[in-house]
Chains A and B, each alone.
Chain A
Amino acid sequence: MEFFELGKISLLIGFGLIVLGFWGILSQKNIIKIILSFTIMETGVNILIVSLGYVKGKTAPIIDSAVEQGANHSVLGQVVDPVPQALVLTAIVIGFGTTALLLAYAMKLFKAKRTLQINNFNDLKW
């Protein structure tokens, strides 16, 4: 079992993007950059979930001439797991929603103080 196996490369990319996004959320000062970091982290999680459904050497779960079909269009043993892909579809839509909301908040914050530097929003600091 080598380290860089084909089925694990996307897993590695997913972990890398999550750590990168987390670093951005913690260390960036510009609100837009923080929102971008959120989306990067989200992408990492999505890649991670999809790669968990990977089955070695199998193809996409779409039944057409590319896959060998059994009786009644059964493709057992031919395709990867369709469930994580369906869940990621949900996750992408929710990610879109949260990003749109975050951008609306960022607009309101900019209107309030004419700046996007998070250091200037210290009203709740004591």
Chain B
Amino acid sequence: MLRNLLISLLLLSFVYIFYNLYVGFTPKTELDGIAAHYADKGAAEIGAANLVTAVVVTYRGFDTLGEVTILFLTASIIGFFLKLTEADENKVIIHRGTSELLVTSSNLLVPIIILFGIYVFMNGHLTPGGGFQGGAIIASAVALAILANPNMHINHQIILWVESISGVVFVLIGVLGILLAGGFLDNRVLPQGQFGTLLSAGAIPIIYSFIGLKVGAEISNILEKYQKSQKES
């Protein structure tokens, strides 16, 4: 009883704070400060049609490096946490068969979903999308494949190599920015190209493609850990 009272008291105080914030808030009528600079000069400086991508990959590229690191950290902690013993690792468990419908449709859909993921991260500088979204779409294809075939063997070595190489290339392009352009993760190491085409915005398509591969590999890695942990006794 006392517990419920305290909970409702806390929630009511939250509602009170939020109500005051809500009433006092007026939406902006024009951009100011750094956002105005991004809207005004972003396209000329970076060459990306999608300004959010320009902010994510170049203006705040360091943030993105941190994000990728956090994902890597999550994958490694989960790998450490769900580690199987030797005996469990070699165990074979018989799953109940999945439905014909799921198996057939996943055979058809998995390649298409992966292709769509690749499209999303390659066009991250032109359309809504980018490395993280594309990587998540690729991982959703892996999740569908696992659902259709619970005993599926995911090659750990491939995931490991794709993840490491993409991470190293991402940082190397960043370091090239110090040597050839304005600073770490500057996209002007490559020519800007024609605005609005696939090969434009300097290094952004390359960086975002590698981020997409890295995120896809990392999420697939996490999915594989969860799949394997079914064997745990």
A86:B49 contact, CB within 8 angstroms: no
B82:A104 contact, CB within 8 angstroms: yes
Interface of B is mostly: helix
**A7 interface neighbour in B27, B71, B78, B128, Cβ under 8 Å:** B27
CB-based nearest B residue for A74 = B40
A72:B44 contact, CB within 8 angstroms: yes
Interface size on B, residues (CB 8 A): 62
Known contacts A23-B11, A74-B39; is-contact A97 B56 (Cβ 8 Å): no
- For chain A, residues 62 to 88, give those with C-beta under 8 angstroms from any C-beta of chain B: 62-64, 72-83, 85-87
B30:A55 contact, CB within 8 angstroms: yes
B196:A83 contact, CB within 8 angstroms: no
The complex places the Cα of A105 from the Cα of B10 at a distance, in Å, of: 27
Q: Using Cβ atoms and an 8 Å threshold, which residues of chain A touch B30?
A: 55, 77
Q: Using Cβ atoms and an 8 Å threshold, which residues of chain A touch B31?
A: 55, 76-77, 79-81
Interface size on A, residues (CB 8 A): 54
Q: Using Cβ atoms and an 8 Å threshold, which residues of chain B touch A60?
A: 128
CB-based nearest B residue for A97 = B74
**B52 interface neighbour in A1, A7, A61, Cβ under 8 Å:** A61
- For chain B, residues 33 to 68, give those with C-beta under 8 angstroms from any C-beta of chain A: 34-36, 38-44, 49-52, 54-56, 60, 63-64, 66-67
Q: Does A19 contact B (CB under 8 A)?
A: yes
- For chain A, residues 6 to 56, give those with C-beta under 8 angstroms from any C-beta of chain B: 7-8, 11-12, 15, 18-19, 22-23, 26-27, 53-56
B18:A101 contact, CB within 8 angstroms: no
Identify the A interface with B (CB < 8 A).
Answer: 1, 3, 5, 7-8, 11-12, 15, 18-19, 22-23, 26-27, 53-56, 60-64, 72-83, 85-87, 89-90, 92-94, 96-98, 100-101, 103-105, 107-108, 111
